Amino acid sequence: MTLAQIGEDELLARIFPLLPVPAATSLGPGDDAAVIASGIGETGIVLTTDTMVRGKDWLDEWSSAADVGAKCVAQNLADVAAMGARPAGLLVTLIADAATPLQWAVELSRGIGQAAAAADTGVLGGDLSSAGAGVLSVSITAVGRLDGPPVTRSGARPGDVVAVAGTLGRAAAGLELFLAGDWQDARADAVELLSAQRCPSPPLAAGPRAAQAGARAMIDLSDGLVRDAGRVAAASGVRIELLAEALAQDIAALAPFVGGEAARACVLAGGEEHSLLACFPAEQELPQGLPQGFRPIGRVLAAGPEGPGVTVDGVAPQVSGWDHFGG
């Protein structure tokens, strides 16, 4: 049996039972970030980590070292925001073949520093380690502060409104353009899609805003809308019903660049967008009732006989989303 045969979710289900969760942990593995008590009132500290590997998460042909640094910060801070927390600091690990140009490591750090500063945070430390020929990997651990209870994946309830802050499918469309290979002469508007893939800019401030507004569940969209909504559905024991009409504009905006079918796949299954998907009590359904930056895209329904899952206009979409091991 290999990792490819089981995929990420099944691997996690097998390893979680082997890992003791420290005493007095508020929230252990399984959500966007873990939570421990801060020791100050009811507030908590969130902790999360995300890694990028050359060849798997970026290619040097299309991403500069600064892009890689900024993207790794964005991925991590999106997980902090998805708990409803604000960033408190980063730890950075660089694992590199000793033949890596010094300039690459310097530019990586410049990208990390700029992205951290833009998010009103900074770097607390890290680690350096060498690796075999051609290996290059960046790992960041982010720490965040909560002002109130964390917003987990498990609090969605039937009747809630499903809303998203940030764009959908743009990083995936950028990846399509890179993989198609003819991106160097891209039109100005296509360059925005390439940038969304090189260094996404998640709506970080929307996370704490959602928490403040009473969001019941939240996740950042790293592996695709349907797959990540499915994680909220599974954790909450509900069905998430997305409305095709609410996604039509997102799909139409990408179609001229990648074609209609790929545009739909980008919006429903594209990874690395790091927008925030949240479920709010139904009385907040009107856009002015939702916190700034969120727009409604669906409803939470009872799970029904088929169990928790995601549907689009009542039908289970035939899209998969990203899995590092192909599961």
Ligand X SMILES: Nc1ncnc2c1ncn2[C@@H]1O[C@H](COP(=O)(O)OP(=O)(O)O)[C@@H](O)[C@H]1O
Binding residues for substrate: 57, 272, 322
C-beta separation of 283 from 289 below 8 A: yes
Which residues lie closer than 8 Å to 261 by C-beta, 6 or more apart? Answer: none
C-beta separation of 150 from 26 below 8 A: yes
21 in contact with ligand X (CB under 6 A): no
Nearest distance from C-beta of residue 270 to ligand X, angstroms: 14
Residue with Cβ nearer Mg ion (49 or 114): 49
323 in contact with ligand X (CB under 6 A): no
137 in contact with ligand X (CB under 6 A): no
Which residues lie closer than 8 Å to 297 by C-beta, 6 or more apart? Answer: 162, 163, 164, 242, 243, 246, 247
> Which pair of tokens denotes residue 129?
């380690």
DSSP 146: -
Nearest distance from C-beta of residue 106 to ligand X, angstroms: 27
When CB distances to Mg ion are compared, the closest residue is: 32
C-beta separation of 102 from 16 below 8 A: no
- Give the separation between CA 159 and CA 300, rounded to whole angstroms: 5
E strands, the chain, are 25-27, 34-37, 44-53, 86-97, 123-131, 136-145, 161-165, 217-220, 238-242, 276-280, 294-302, 309-312
- Give the separation between CA 13 and CA 19, rounded to whole angstroms: 11
Could you list the residues known to form a binding site, using ranges.
Answer: 32, 48-50, 57, 79, 126-127, 153, 220, 222-223, 272, 322
58 in contact with ligand TPP (CB under 6 A): yes
- Give the separation between CA 104 and CA 25, rounded to whole angstroms: 38
272 in contact with ligand TPP (CB under 6 A): yes
Nearest distance from C-beta of residue 13 to ligand X, angstroms: 10
- Return the residue of 44, 50, 173, 250 that touches ligand X, per CB under 6 A: 50
Residue with Cβ nearer ligand X (33 or 253): 33
79 in contact with ligand X (CB under 6 A): yes
* Contact pattern from residue 177 through residue 216 relative to ligand TPP, giving x for each residue in contact according to CB under 6 A and a dash for the rest: ----------------------------------------
137 in contact with ligand TPP (CB under 6 A): no
Looking at residue 144, its amino acid is: G
Nearest distance from C-beta of residue 72 to Mg ion, angstroms: 13
168 in contact with ligand TPP (CB under 6 A): no
Q: Which residues bind Mg ion (CB under 5 A)?
A: 32, 79, 220
Q: Would you tell me which residues interact with ligand TPP (CB under 6 A)? A: 50, 56-59, 75, 175, 222-223, 271-272, 322
